[in-house]
Each structure stands twice: as structure tokens, then as C-alpha cells.
């Protein structure tokens, strides 16, 4: 079946998202022009507006997509067992989700400033929902006497910062494999909440 001349729907769209993600992560949202994104995709700047209302939507859609994907994947993992087992599983989940998505993670933590107030509020709500999953694990561990944590909210924010920081220095092919890094961080995390290691 013949396709309309010049029609690339379903191809150009994702390429625009990919190019925007890569360029925003590398240079920062404000430093990247629509012309640069268009050049990366291989079209002229005006053509981008067939796929996004404006530059802001491009950023917002990337961040929202990342957060909903993250939360859906965590809920699908359905962590069960003792608080320590769930904490260990959360740690491994977080690392496995984030390591292959370093560009997106970087964006999600660095470019919140460049969202409009309304868009920021939506992303913040999603982040809070994710954090709450971890905080629940910590609360349960404290209640059961498995964990020693002075303040679960502080520990939650601290642990997420600890884990997400990996994306700032991890490089594929570096000194440690992803599995080694994962094991290292599991030890750090479980020890940090005062859990006895198995």
C-alpha cells in the first residue's frame, strides 16, 4: 500500500523525543534550541511543531513519561517479604531502572526548574508517590524492629539521593560491573537503616 509522499508519522515523532532527551541531558533545556533538535532529527525547525505544541511540552512529556513508567514498573514488581527483603528489592529495582536511563534521570533531577508551575506540580506529585513507596518500607521495618531509623522521611529522601547519585558517575565499561555496583549499594543501604545483613 503506497504511503503518502514525505509522510513519516510514527517515525519522526519518536525521533523528536529521542533527540530532545539526548540534547537536553547533554547541554540543558535552556541551552538547546529547537533548531538543534531539528538538525539532530534531520528536519527543519518548523516541522517539529507537528509533534509538539512547544518546547516546554517537549520537556514536560519526557519527565512525565519517565515518572509514570518508573512508578508503574515499581508497582509491577510487587515487592513482598520482610522489610529487609523489600528494601533490598527496592534498591535493586531503583538501580536497574535508573542505570540504563541516565539521560532521563539527569533531566528529571536537573530540569525541574524549567517547568512551568503547573507542570512542576504534576511532576512533584509523581515523585512524591514514588518516594512514599520507599517510606512505607522503612516505616514497616521500624515497626517490626528490623530497622533503626531516626526519621523515615529523612531516610527516604537520603536513600533516594544516595541511589540516584550513581547515575552521576556510572559509565558502562568502568571499573565495576552493574551487578557489583548493585551489590555494593545494597550493603550500604541495608546497613544504613541499621538492618542486620543476611
Binding-site member from 8, 9, 27, 100 for a copy of itself (CB under 8 A): 27
Instruction: Please state the closest distance from residue 68 (CB atom) to DNA, in A.
Output: 24
* 150 binds a copy of itself, rule: CB under 8 A: yes
59, 24 contact by CB (below 8 A): yes
* 160 binds a copy of itself, rule: CB under 8 A: yes
* 169 binds a copy of itself, rule: CB under 8 A: yes
3-state secondary structure the chain: CCCCCCCCCCCHHHHHHHHHHHHHHHHCHHHCCHHHHHHHHCCCHHHHHHCCCCHHHHHHHHHHHHHHHHHHHHHHHCCCCCHHHHHHHHHHHHHHHHHHHHHHHHHHHHCHHHCCHHHHHHHHHHHHHHHHHHHHHHHHHHHHCCCCCCCHHHHHHHHHHHHHHHHHCCCCCCCCCHHHHHHHHHHHHHHHCCCCCC
Binding-site member from 75, 151, 177, 179 for a copy of itself (CB under 8 A): 151
What is the rounded CA–CA span in Å between residue 138 and residue 152? 6
Q: Which is nearer to a copy of itself, 137 or 189 (CB)?
A: 189
Instruction: Please state the closest distance from residue 53 (CB atom) to a copy of itself, in A.
Output: 20
Instruction: Please state the closest distance from residue 138 (CB atom) to a copy of itself, in A.
Output: 11
* 161 binds a copy of itself, rule: CB under 8 A: yes
* List of residues contacting DNA (CB under 7 A): 4, 6-9, 12, 32-36, 38, 42-47, 49-51, 54-56
Residue 99 contact, options a copy of itself, DNA, none, Cβ 5-8 Å cut-off depending on partner type:
none
Residues that bind a copy of itself (rule: CB under 8 A) add up to a total of 39
Residues that bind a copy of itself (CB under 8 A): 26-31, 110, 113-114, 148-151, 154-155, 157-162, 164-166, 168-169, 176, 180-181, 183-185, 187-189, 191-194
Amino acid at each position: 500500500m503506497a504511503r503518502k509522499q514525505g509522510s513519516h508519522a510514527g517515525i519522526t515523532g519518536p525521533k523528536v523525543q529521542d533527540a530532545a532527551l539526548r540534547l537536553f541531558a547533554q547541554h540543558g533545556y535552556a541551552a538547546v534550541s529547537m533548531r538543534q533538535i531539528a538538525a539532530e532529527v534531520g528536519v527543519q525547525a518548523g516541522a517539529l511543531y507537528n509533534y509538539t505544541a512547544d518546547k516546554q511540552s517537549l520537556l514536560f512529556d519526557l519527565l512525565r513519561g519517565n515518572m509514570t513508567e518508573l512508578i508503574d514498573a515499581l508497582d509491577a514488581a510487587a515487592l513482598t517479604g520482610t522489610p529487609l527483603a523489600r528494601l533490598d528489592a527496592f534498591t535493586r529495582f531503583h538501580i536497574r531502572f535508573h542505570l540504563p536511563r541516565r539521560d532521563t534521570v539527569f533531566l528529571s533531577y536537573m530540569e525541574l526548574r524549567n517547568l512551568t508551575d503547573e507542570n512542576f506540580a504534576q511532576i512533584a506529585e509523581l515523585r512524591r508517590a514514588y518516594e512514599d513507596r520507599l517510606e512505607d518500607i522503612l516505616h514497616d521495618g521500624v515497626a517490626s524492629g528490623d530497622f533503626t531509623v531516626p526519621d523515615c522521611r529523612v531516610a527516604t529522601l537520603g536513600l533516594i539521593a544516595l541511589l540516584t547519585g550513581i547515575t552521576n558517575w556510572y559509565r558502562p565499561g568502568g571499573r565495576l560491573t552493574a551487578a557489583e555496583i548493585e551489590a555494593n549499594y545494597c550493603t550500604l543501604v541495608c546497613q544504613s537503616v541499621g538492618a542486620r545483613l543476611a
